[in-house]
A and B are shown apart, each in its own frame.
Chain A
Amino acid sequence: MIPAAFAYARPTTVDEALSAIAAGGEDVKIMAGGQSLIPVMRLRLAAPETVVDLTKVTELRGVREDGDSLVIGSMTTHSDILRDPLIARYGKLIAEATETVADPAVRHRGTFGGALAHADPAGDLPAVALALDAEFVIAGPGGARRSVPAAAFFVDYLTTALEDGELLVEIRVPKLGEGWGVRYEKFNRVAQAWSIVAVAAAVRREGSTIAEARIGLTNMGSTPLRATAVEQALVGADVSLETVTAAAAQAAEGTEPSSDLNAQADYRQHLARVLTGRAVRAAAGL
C-alpha cells in the first residue's frame, strides 16, 4: 500500500517549520516520528496535500531541566526518553509508560510530542501527561508562543487544542524526585498491542501518610482522564491496603468508556478499578 501523493517539506528549524506549515495549503499534516501518520496515509485514511517532516528540526529534540520542571522537546524519541538520565531520575512515570509503547523499532522513530499531539485515547503517554499536569508549549504563526495545560490540551478523540498553523514545541512536567513512587499498569492482550485500559499513578508519601496522588486513566473515554475521586480519597489517608483498595473502587466514577472488539464498557470500568488498585499499591510501596 502506497500513500497518495503529497508535497514534502523538511525544515531544519522551528521557524522554517512554521513557514512550511503556513505555506502548505489547506490540508497540511505535521509529521513527527510518522509511526501513526505513515500507517494512516498508507491506508489512505489520510491524504494530506503537504507533509511537514520535523525529523531534522534538532532544536525540538532532547530533555533539559528548568528549576522544578523537566522540559521535553516534542521531537524527543521514545528511545531518547528511555536513555535519558534526567528522565531516569525525575521522570520515572514517563519512562515506565514509554517502555510499553509499541516495540523497539517503533520507539526508535516515534516521539513524545507526536504521541501527545496524535491524542489517541488508547495511547499511553496522554494519561501520563494529564496525571503530571503537563504544560504544552505551542508555537504559532510568526513564532508567538502560548502554553496550554494538559487538562485543556486533550479536547476529544484524536483532537487537541492545537490550531491550524501551530506546532507543539515542548512539554513541561514537574520533576518527581524524592518521596514519589510511580507505576504504569497496562492491560493488553498481545505484544505491541494498544492498551485496553491502563492506569498511570504517582504517589508521594510522608511517613505513613499519602501526601499527594496523581492518577491518569488511558482509554476510559475519548480523552485521557484523571481519577479525581480516587486522588481525593487517597490524599491524607494512611498507607494501607484497606484505604488504597477503598479508594481504587472509585476509579471508574464519571467515566464513559467505549465498547469495542477488545472490551465492553463495563469490563473497562472493572479493569480501571483493578488496575488503579495495583498501580497505587505499587506506587505507594505496598
Chain B
Amino acid sequence: MTQINVRVDGASYVDDVEPRTLLVHYLREQLGKVGTVVGCDTSNCGACTVHLDGESVKSCTVLAVQADGSEVTTIEGIADGATLHPMQKAFHEQHGLQCGYCTPGMIMASIDLLKNNPNPSEHEIREGIEGNLCRCTGYVNIVRAVQQAAGEMSSTTTGAQA
C-alpha cells in the first residue's frame, strides 16, 4: 500500500492505495464518486475522463498513486451547488445524449477543449472530442451542446469553473 494525498472536487483525502489501483477505481470504489463511469476499460471510449491538475485524462489509464499531490476534478465537482456548469446545462438543453453513459466523459473532455480553444469550429469540436465515443447520438446534438456552451462561456468571460 502507498499513501496518497489528493484533492478531489475540492475536498482533501489521505488514503492508502495499491500501486496497481487505477484512478477510476479509486474514485468510484474508495471515494464513492460513481458519476465517473468505466466504459470500455481499454482506453478508447473516454467515458471515464476527469481532469488531473486541470487537464483531461482517461482515469482508467492513470494510476491512483500518480494523482498523489494533485487536484482531480470529476463530473461531480463542476456544478456550483444547484447551478449546473454551462457545459452540463448545454448538454441538457440541446439533449446531447441518449443513454447518457458517455456524458460525464464527454462533458469533461468538452470543458478541456474550450479551455484551450474558447471558440472552436464544428470541425475543431469533433477533433477535440475524438477520444470520447458515443454509440447513440451520431454526435450532432453533442456538437450543438458544445457550441452553445462555448457561446455562453465566452460571453460571460468567467471561465473560472473547472
1/0 per residue, CB under 8 A from A, across B49-62: the answer is 10010011110111
The reply to whether B66 and A55 contact each other, CB–CB distance below 8 Å, is yes
The reply to whether B63 and A38 contact each other, CB–CB distance below 8 Å, is yes
CB proximity of A259 to chain B, nearest CB, Å? 24
> Of B19, B22, B132, which contacts A51 at CB under 8 A?
B19
Q: Which residues of B contact A2 (CB under 8 A)?
A: 20-22, 25
- Residue on B nearest A1 in the bound complex, by CB: B41
Q: Which residues of B contact A106 (CB under 8 A)?
A: 43, 58, 61, 131
> Of A3, A7, A53, A105, which contacts B57 at CB under 8 A?
A105
- Residue on A nearest B108 in the bound complex, by CB: A105
The reply to whether A7 and B19 contact each other, CB–CB distance below 8 Å, is yes
**A8 sits at the interface (CB 8 A):** yes
Instruction: Compute how far the CA of A6 lies from the CA of B22 in the bound complex, rounded to whole angstroms.
Output: 13
The reply to whether A103 and B19 contact each other, CB–CB distance below 8 Å, is no
- Residue on B nearest A2 in the bound complex, by CB: B20
Q: Which residues of A contact B131 (CB under 8 A)?
A: 102-106, 191-192
Instruction: Compute how far the CA of A42 lies from the CA of B61 in the bound complex, rounded to whole angstroms.
Output: 9
- Residue on B nearest A77 in the bound complex, by CB: B55
CB proximity of A236 to chain B, nearest CB, Å? 38
**A179 sits at the interface (CB 8 A):** no
Complex interface residues of chain B between 101 and 117 (CB less than 8 A to chain A):
109, 112-113
The reply to whether A109 and B20 contact each other, CB–CB distance below 8 Å, is no
Q: Which residues of A contact B65 (CB under 8 A)?
A: 8, 10, 53
Instruction: Compute how far the CA of A151 lies from the CA of B52 in the bound complex, rounded to whole angstroms.
Output: 37
**Interface size, A (range):** 20 to 34
> Of A41, A102, A105, which contacts B49 at CB under 8 A?
A105
CB proximity of A80 to chain B, nearest CB, Å? 11
CB proximity of B92 to chain A, nearest CB, Å? 23
Q: Which residues of A contact B132 (CB under 8 A)?
A: 103
**Secondary structure type dominating chain B contacts:** mixed
Complex interface residues of chain A between 27 and 52 (CB less than 8 A to chain B):
34-35, 38-39, 41-42, 51
**A79 sits at the interface (CB 8 A):** yes
The reply to whether A104 and B61 contact each other, CB–CB distance below 8 Å, is no
- Residue on B nearest A55 in the bound complex, by CB: B66
The reply to whether A109 and B57 contact each other, CB–CB distance below 8 Å, is yes
- Candidate in A4, A79, A108 with the most chain B CB atoms within 10 angstroms: A108
CB proximity of A218 to chain B, nearest CB, Å? 19
Q: Which residues of B contact A42 (CB under 8 A)?
A: 22, 41-42, 60
The reply to whether A39 and B42 contact each other, CB–CB distance below 8 Å, is yes
Known contacts A35-B43, A104-B112; A5/B18 CB under 8 A: yes
The reply to whether A79 and B55 contact each other, CB–CB distance below 8 Å, is yes
**B155 sits at the interface (CB 8 A):** no
Instruction: Compute how far the CA of A55 lies from the CA of B69 in the bound complex, rounded to whole angstroms.
Output: 12
Instruction: Compute how far the CA of A7 lies from the CA of B41 in the bound complex, rounded to whole angstroms.
Output: 22
- Candidate in A53, A55, A104 with the most chain B CB atoms within 10 angstroms: A104
- Residue on B nearest A191 in the bound complex, by CB: B130
The reply to whether A104 and B43 contact each other, CB–CB distance below 8 Å, is no
Besides A8-B19, A38-B22, A105-B55, 7 other A-B contacts (C-beta < 8 A): A1-B41, A2-B22, A42-B42, A104-B113, A104-B130, A105-B46, A108-B56
User: Residues of A with Cβ closer than 8 Å to B?
Assistant: 1-8, 10, 34-35, 38-39, 41-42, 51, 53, 55, 79, 102-106, 108-109, 191-192
Q: List 16 A-B contacts (CB under 8 A).
A: A1-B41, A8-B2, A38-B43, A38-B60, A38-B62, A39-B43, A53-B66, A103-B130, A104-B112, A105-B58, A106-B58, A108-B55, A108-B56, A191-B130, A192-B44, A192-B130
